[in-house]
Structure 1
Amino acid sequence: MFKHVEYSITTWILQLTGQSHKTSCIKGGIREENVYQKSSSSEELLGLINRILLLSRVKMVDYKVTVSTVNIATATTFNNVYIKLVGTDGESDRTWLVSVKGALSFVRGAVSTFTVSCPASIGKLVLIELSLQHIPLFGEDSWFPAKVEVKSPEGDTYNFPIYQWITDSEVHRFREGTALKVSEDNHHLGKYSREQELKQREENYRWHVYAEGIPHCMKAEDPTDLPAEVRFSFTKASEFRFTALTGLAELRLKGLAESTENWPDIDSINRVFCCKQTDILDYVQKHWKEDAFFAYQYLNGVNPILIRRCSALPDNFPVTDDMVFPSGQFSLADEMKKGNIFLCDYKRLDGLKANIINGKQQYLMAPLVLLHKTPDDKLMPVAIQLKQTPAEDNPIFLPTDSEYDWLTAKIFVRSADFNEHQLNVHLLRTHLFAEVFAVSLLRNVPSVHPLYKLLVPHTRYTLQINFLARARLISETGSFTLFAASGGEGLVTLLQRSQSSVTYSSLCMPEDIAERGVEDVPNFYYRDDGLGIWDIIHRFVQGVLSFYYKSDAEVQQDSELQKWISDIFEHGFLSQACTGIPQSFKTVDELVKFVTMVIFTSSAQHSAVNTGQYDYGGWMPNTPISLQLPPPTTKGTTSEATMLQTFPAVNTTVQGMATMWLLSQQSSDFVALGQYPEEHFSEEIPCKLIKDFQGELEVLSAVIKARNKSLEVPYTYMDPTEVENSVAI
């Protein structure tokens, strides 16, 4: 008796207080809603009372509704929350969620339980509708619910993952958590909801051509144009802003940010961020001149994808045995046969117009670097040519040259490596491709689809960090444009050249390692850790997708899946079939491989090429972002003085170091690879696969940590506990 009386009184109160009450019916799969306002006449009031009395004679069934609010700043709402349950056999009334907690029911981190009563069972739940009604006393606020769990009178439990900001009074529909491909979504309400969600997503996530010849991005004029779900959290935004402002403030206080002077000596560079040291940065300052450390960075620095085994010298690199093996103990031909010679070729930089900084022309070379693996398994540089075309004024520098000739050659290589790394290896191959993967997912795949549930955690913050990169780093007034050698006119050119050289195999780590012939190079921790992560991701992805796709035909028939890859091919790889990027999926194996690459690129690969930027670039002489003098055209003309004149000016140096420091800082709301605070999957098998995935990553992390204890320079960038789930910085 009390249950149906409570239900009736609640309905009556809503009517008498002027709060809208909606009833709905289904016509052709589309819900039509009629809104009844407060009765103003006694006749209407009498009708309302008669209706309440009629309802009181009906035996009600109860649905237990548990609502969880995300535990982050600003997730709280103090306004009224309404819910409607929609099932295969009917739907509940729109019900105001009231509990003994009162206004605290929907504060951050709250888990609150309510009862929704219906005259009869509404069958298997298909979706729920949530809406806010703003209370003038509290003003408008936003609510970020995590999930809703509903227990039916029959004893079934339904999970509804939300993870969406509700900022208005509109009705928002959310599907039950069981993943469904489009062919399995047979209920007319489900189909309609799916179509409406994708229609809205196409409006929210629109493609934009930032520059011809590079991947397209999301159209947005301001971060507030981004849907709330993909923006930084309050915590992330606050910390990012604070880190940027304090870094620049420190530099200005020291009088460095505006100084266009040259560095008077090496020790003066220590004044920059002297309080922001890391263990590896300390090591770099002590060892940056050493050949072994120079070579080591090709394996475990921030650009580990350039080095490749050399089986034949390029025609434009006329190195001889006498040059590199003056004592005759080795020959190039024999060492190449044994697989002991390696090449790093910066040909993408050839002819690139270098920037003008502080009114001065800068210099950027396109070097070729030859490395030799010695009998004691050390990798050592043996020859450097700073320009691509051999000539008398383009000498091949050797370790036997004078100290500053050889050091200057290495400095030009390290500057070239910075520019190649930032625009190709880092920006293009992780940030821009991750954005394409994300926008295509959000445009084409609804939240109930298994692919969305699998990939959406790997899109976190990517769209906003990329917006900020375009606005603050590579725009006309961006710090990279103004202060890097490849900024200015050369920036887009280098991105276009890099885009044209991308292949699918180069994005798939096992194939890339094999193609470069570096499978057995000793002390290559990027390779060892990366292949370990790749294999773990691959097994996880294979398990999840094989659960939902039992045959190749199911993959081929999934129109949403095919639109996702088609969009990526068009907007990310510019419809270039020569890249090897699939234009459609024909088999489960093809799908598994591609999704593995997407997750790896957005997590482990980005960590490998981003996290160590300040470790290796915080000491400018090791990574100059630009150089002010051309390279020597003859040997014997260099000195410490010419080296200092070649280094970037003070303001150029500190802008580069401040940017690398900012982009290396981990946010306090960092989410590590394999951690899923948002519970999108609800089925038993995918949830078990997630636990197995996490367990394998924990084992790999323990192995890496144990190895690092014995290393002079630990390699931590692909330790799963240090790898962020997405491109978020």
Structure 2
Amino acid sequence: MILFRHFPNFLRRSGDHAGAELVKIKGTVILTKNSLNFNVSFLNRRHAFIGSGVSFQLISSTVADPNLGGKGRVGKVAYLENWSGGLESIDARESRFDVNFEWDLALGIPGAVIVKNNHHKEFYLRSLTLEEDVSGEMRNLNGIIVFDCNSWVYPIEKYDYDRVFFVNNTYLPGDMPATLKGYREDELRNLRGDKVKRQLQEWDRVYGYAYYNDLGEDRPVLGGSLEYPYPRRGRTCRPSIKTGLFQFLLQLLSGIYKKRPDPKSERRESRLPFLKSLDIYVPRDEKFDMVKMSDFLGYALKSVGSAVIPGVTSVLDGTPNEFDSFDDVLGLYDGGIKIPSNDVPLKMVRELLRSDGEQLFKFPTPQVIQDCKSAWRSDEEFGREMLAGLNPVIISRLEVFPPVSQLGKTKYGDQTSKITGAHIAKFLDGMSVEDAIGMNKLYILNHHDTLLPYLNRINSTGNKIYATRTLLFLKSDGTLKPIAIELGLPHPDGDIHGFVSEVFTPKEGGVEGTRWQLAKAYAAVNDSGVHQLISHWLNTHAVIEPFVIATNRRLSVVHPIHKLLNPHYRDTMNINALARQILINAGGILEITVFPGKYAMEMSSAVYKSWKLTDHALPTDLLKRGVAVKDPDSESNVKLLIDDYPYAVDGLAIWNAIEEWAKEYCNIYYPSDAVVKNDVELQAWWKEVREEGHGDKKNETWWPEMNCVDNLISTSTTLIWISSALHAAVNFGQYAYAGYLPNRPTISRRFMPEPGSPEYAELETNPEGAFLKTITSEIHTILGVSLIEILSKYSSDEVYLGQRASAEWTSDKRAVAAFKKFGEKLEKIESRITAMNSDPTLKNRSGPVNVPYTLLYPSTSDDTKVGGLTGKGIPNSVSM
């Protein structure tokens, strides 16, 4: 059913031509010229002068052309007018243009349009709108027709097919007008590009799959094997790395022989020059737009600048590569780095980076130390951040004491925790351990099983980490108190003998108080690595990319599920490609600044072995971690066991809103399970996600069958949740908490000092210095803080949950009404979050550091649209 809004002045009669009754249709085009490199050359000026630069041809949705195999008849060519200037500038990027069509009334209603670019540079086509005339020449039409295009259109020589755009109607495959089905199928075939084997270029619109074989030739290929399973990334078709005989002989002669790379490894772009290293193929419509790229480069250059001077300065001071005290760390924010007046090289760098004044490259003060410089060290804040910090998705309820391991005993021996009741008895408010467990009072942050198999390799690199178990007690005021931290290492006689460990409990003051602070730091180091590699990268960025690819390959832009999910894919392929180039690659920033080093991505592959999409539905996740129990009387069917759990409380409200929106939307187009089963595009999409995108998981039985409306709703809800709220919760709080690295160190460089050692003596004489020598070094701190400052910033053009980039995303009034209802529910959630953050009885909402929990504040209003380090809002997609 075609639904249009009423709009006057659609048609003007042109008169009959050769028996046809032609009418004039006025069209309005909104587009963006490529301002990064768009120069109006002589040839472009010639096209503009003769009026043939950009052409449009409407396609009939009702009349077939036998010469086109039954596809819709194509109307007369019309040209964009006034290319050089446009009618008006809508904003700094977009302009409005006229195009006037002559349309044969006998062809009925236009349903698609062919667009050709005869210029020599690409442009971004936002939309084409056709307007109605009061005379009602086209009686079947009762409003405007909108083509919501949102695509880069390259010069015609870049394509071997026509660029076709459809009206913003929504059609299941079987409901599409017969005259448009061929165009729909052609478009999907072009996007798959399965026959394209050459290296893909920026104008290619090909979505395909590849392994993670571009991280560096000395890193294992991730994906396609039982040993290293992984989600697929976007295909680029870059040449493979090859070491021929000549290169092999050169290596022998030079004495730098390297192991021959895996033949499946793909050649990487050079990291120099910087901008070239960022030019990695993703389909152009998946790339950052000009505002986002401008923001990204601006943030990157600023942060790189912030790292340059302090990094050089740290080499010049009395203790290179080390902070001498917490005051030294605070100097990064309070005053910046003072450049000596006689330091000519540093002054030259300052001038090159155009920074003003002698106090250079000052970082913004992280929220965790804005109100108080020392509250982060409290046990209460340490526990609170597991519920409302940057990684609130790991903590689980302790159901068995002592904690047990899931590592196989035949290989790793007995890995049962050595924490005893004697260690924790005095911290249980008079309860026994059994009573505390029975009353749901004991919780655990458990990084033992994930890390222990990698400890020997990681600790051989210079980093010194433990496998940690942290036990916490839920107090009567709703806060969590850490009561024991176990630091474990592989048994020196071999894995089969289990492990060795030491247990630390809370102490205040003196050497043992410092050792307790160090024990918390070791646990925080592990949580930082797991957060960045697993909670953030793997469980949002990496697992969503296959869905982005499959959706574009198998679901037409007019398909209802494409319209539902596509906003939640914005920029994901682009940011992932950049990550593979400069962040998670061999020698990349993550390997340098986070403890697993060269084993980081291999470790995330090991965790992916147990990944299940269904586990990441928020209610399922909470139940699996034991922090909630089933409750059929609640809206989400679960009841939290920690009432003041900000991530879970806000998350469940957001989850319920998303689920209600997905349900109302899906029910519009799928009135029965049979419609789901008979949707050929939907079935092809789901098959490809399982067998290609997550191909290493294709034989697992947990995948839901796409055979009913309920499974479609639950899957859509989970995908939207992961892409929006889950990613926001684990990404945009990074600078607030980890911008001050002593609070969230990412590396530990030496083991816990033992009594009698010089390091132990240093704990007595210089506890701050000893602490800082153990955790992330000065230069790594500066580099790490520079990175997370970029990752934590919202773009100024961010599109938030409950918003759409285009008001004309669909012509279906039912979908528009359901989406409006979704936005209204999110506004109520915002008000509720604001009220809870002001409630002094909810101690975990702000904590000792006085940082309100706003990461799951939806931001449907305009108060957060400035971008930057707001720590507030849920973007639609994994966009940073």
State the TM-score, normalizing by the size of structure 1: 0.86
Counterpart CA distance in 1 for 2:395 and 2:783 is 28
Q: Which letter maps to 1:84? A: Q
Matched, 1:83 2:60: no
Equivalent position SS for 1:396: strand
- The counterpart of 2:331, out of the listed 271, 277, 290, is 271
Q: Which letter maps to 1:648? A: T
Q: Which letter maps to 2:812? A: E
Match of 1:30 in 2: none
Matched, 1:413 2:523: yes
Counterpart CA distance in 2 for 1:219 and 1:497 is 23
Match of 1:140 in 2: 121
Counterpart CA distance in 2 for 1:515 and 1:121 is 61
Match of 2:341 in 1: none
Residue deviations 1:467-523 (CA, integer Å, cap 9, x gap) = 0111111111311112321121x2122111210222234200011112222212032
CA contact (8 A) 1:672 1:725 kept: yes
Match of 2:31 in 1: 69
Q: How does 1:108-123 map to 2 (within 5 A)?
A: 108-123=93-108
Match of 1:191 in 2: 181
**Deviation of the 1:131 alpha carbon:** 1.6
Q: Which moved more, 1:559-568 or 1:326-335?
A: 326-335
Q: How does 1:634-713 map to 2 (within 5 A)?
A: 637=760, 639=763, 640=767, 641-678=769-806, 679-710=808-839, 711=846, 712-713=850-851
**Deviation of the 1:262 alpha carbon:** 2.3
Q: Which letter maps to 1:516? A: R
Matched, 1:457 2:557: no
CA contact (8 A) 1:69 1:75 kept: no
Structure 1 pair 257/683, CA: closer, same or farther in 2 (3 Å)?
Answer: farther
**Deviation of the 1:670 alpha carbon:** 1.0
Match of 1:20 in 2: none
Matched, 1:350 2:452: yes
Q: Which moved more, 1:541-550 or 1:143-152?
A: 143-152
Counterpart CA distance in 1 for 2:12 and 2:437 is 88
CA RMSD of aligned residues (A): 3.0
Q: How does 1:571-586 map to 2 (within 5 A)?
A: 571-576=692-697, 581-582=702-703, 584-586=705-707
Equivalent position SS for 1:117: strand
Q: Which letter maps to 1:69? A: L
Residue deviations 1:346-387 (CA, integer Å, cap 9, x gap) = 020113157889x96112222011110122322101111011
**Deviation of the 1:249 alpha carbon:** 1.2
Counterpart CA distance in 1 for 2:381 and 2:708 is 45
Q: Which moved more, 1:109-118 or 1:298-307?
A: 109-118
Counterpart CA distance in 2 for 1:4 and 1:399 is 79
Residue deviations 1:530-578 (CA, integer Å, cap 9, x gap) = 1111110111111111101111111112121122222222345444368
Counterpart CA distance in 2 for 1:5 and 1:261 is 75
Q: Which letter maps to 2:876? A: N
Match of 2:282 in 1: 226
Equivalent position SS for 2:419: coil
Residue deviations 1:45-93 (CA, integer Å, cap 9, x gap) = xxxxxxxxx9378653333333333699679998533221111226454
Structure 1 pair 478/321, CA: closer, same or farther in 2 (3 Å)?
Answer: same
Counterpart CA distance in 2 for 1:635 and 1:197 is 73
- The counterpart of 1:60, out of the listed 9, 22, 27, is 22
Matched, 1:250 2:240: no
Residue deviations 1:430-453 (CA, integer Å, cap 9, x gap) = 111121221111111111111111
**Deviation of the 1:419 alpha carbon:** 0.5
Structure 1 pair 252/181, CA: closer, same or farther in 2 (3 Å)?
Answer: same
Match of 1:39 in 2: none
Q: Which letter maps to 1:243? A: Y
**Deviation of the 1:105 alpha carbon:** 4.2
Matched, 1:162 2:149: yes
Matched, 1:126 2:111: yes
Q: Which moved more, 1:626-635 or 1:515-524?
A: 626-635
Counterpart CA distance in 1 for 2:605 and 2:82 is 61
The number of residues matched between the two structures is 675
Counterpart CA distance in 2 for 1:726 and 1:230 is 12
**Deviation of the 1:218 alpha carbon:** 0.3
Counterpart CA distance in 2 for 1:342 and 1:713 is 23
Match of 1:425 in 2: 535
Q: Which moved more, 1:387-396 or 1:438-447?
A: 387-396
Q: Which letter maps to 2:328? A: S
Q: Which runs of 5+ in 2 are unaligned?
A: 1-9, 65-72, 194-205, 213-221, 224-228, 239-277, 335-361, 405-415, 492-497, 628-639, 840-845, 860-872
Counterpart CA distance in 1 for 2:208 and 2:431 is 59
Equivalent position SS for 2:426: coil
Residue deviations 1:593-652 (CA, integer Å, cap 9, x gap) = 000010110000000000011111111111111111023467994711432321222111
CA contact (8 A) 1:62 1:115 kept: yes
Matched, 1:104 2:86: yes
Q: Which letter maps to 1:165? A: W
- The counterpart of 2:398, out of the listed 310, 314, 329, is 310
**Deviation of the 1:592 alpha carbon:** 0.3
Counterpart CA distance in 2 for 1:154 and 1:408 is 77
Q: Which letter maps to 1:122? A: L
Equivalent position SS for 1:715: coil
Matched, 1:720 2:858: yes
Structure 1 pair 500/412, CA: closer, same or farther in 2 (3 Å)?
Answer: same
Structure 1 pair 180/141, CA: closer, same or farther in 2 (3 Å)?
Answer: closer
- The counterpart of 2:481, out of the listed 373, 380, 383, is 380
Q: How does 1:230-629 map to 2 (within 5 A)?
A: 230-256=286-312, 259=315, 261-274=321-334, 275=362, 276-283=364-371, 285-313=373-401, 314-315=403-404, 316-326=416-426, 329-346=430-447, 347-353=449-455, 361-387=462-488, 394-400=501-507, 402-488=512-598, 490-518=599-627, 519-576=640-697, 581-582=702-703, 584-629=705-750
Counterpart CA distance in 2 for 1:416 and 1:55 is 76
Equivalent position SS for 1:60: strand
CA contact (8 A) 2:147 2:168 kept: yes
CA contact (8 A) 1:545 1:592 kept: yes
Q: Which letter maps to 2:102? A: S
Q: Which runs of 5+ in 1 are unaligned?
A: 9-53
Counterpart CA distance in 2 for 1:552 and 1:321 is 54
**Deviation of the 1:186 alpha carbon:** 4.4
Counterpart CA distance in 1 for 2:289 and 2:663 is 31
Counterpart CA distance in 2 for 1:516 and 1:257 is 46
Structure 1 pair 106/69, CA: closer, same or farther in 2 (3 Å)?
Answer: farther
Q: Which moved more, 1:73-82 or 1:661-670?
A: 73-82
**Deviation of the 1:159 alpha carbon:** 2.6
**Deviation of the 1:673 alpha carbon:** 0.9
Equivalent position SS for 2:578: helix
CA contact (8 A) 2:33 2:123 kept: no
Counterpart CA distance in 2 for 1:521 and 1:6 is 69
Counterpart CA distance in 1 for 2:455 and 2:430 is 41
Counterpart CA distance in 2 for 1:126 and 1:57 is 23
Q: Which letter maps to 2:181? A: K
Instruction: Determine what percentage of the aligned residue pairs are the same residue.
Output: 25
Residue deviations 1:402-451 (CA, integer Å, cap 9, x gap) = 20121111010000000011000000001111212211111111111111
Structure 1 pair 180/258, CA: closer, same or farther in 2 (3 Å)?
Answer: farther
